Amino acid sequence: MIDMIYELVKKREKQMSKTSKPCATCGGPTTMTAEVDRFEYGFPLTVTLSCDVIVYNCEACPFSFTDQQAETAREVAVEEHLRAIAPRPDARKDQVAK
């Protein structure tokens, strides 16, 4: 499931890199930059997760924005974090066997 999400993100990123988007505010041309987005996740133990997002910067006005790719990237970062802290089913199986 997580691997599927990764594939989806990779595919989307490839599509993204080919086309830029018009500015959501003024419709002007935008340039894309890859930035690291950091956000806090979890309660009561809060961790700071980070992910690579594509930011669209308008050339005509100061507006910059992210799109669905950023949302997906954040979801993937959360999935990754949850997988990292989850008990490993394989390790548990080994313990039972011993």
- Pick between residue 44 and residue 62 the one whose CB is nearest to Zn ion: 62
Site residues (CB under 5 A) for Zn ion, limited to 57-86: 58, 60-61, 63
Strands of 30-41's sheet, edge to edge? 30-41, 47-58, 64-65
- Pick between residue 25 and residue 50 the one whose CB is nearest to Zn ion: 25
How far apart are CB 21 and Zn ion at their closest, in Å? 11
# chain residues binding Zn ion, by CB under 5 A: 8
Q: Residue written as tokens 């133990």?
A: 45
Amino acid sitting at position 45:
L
* DSSP conformational letter for 60: S
How far apart are CB 38 and Zn ion at their closest, in Å? 25
CB 34 within 8 A of CB 54: yes
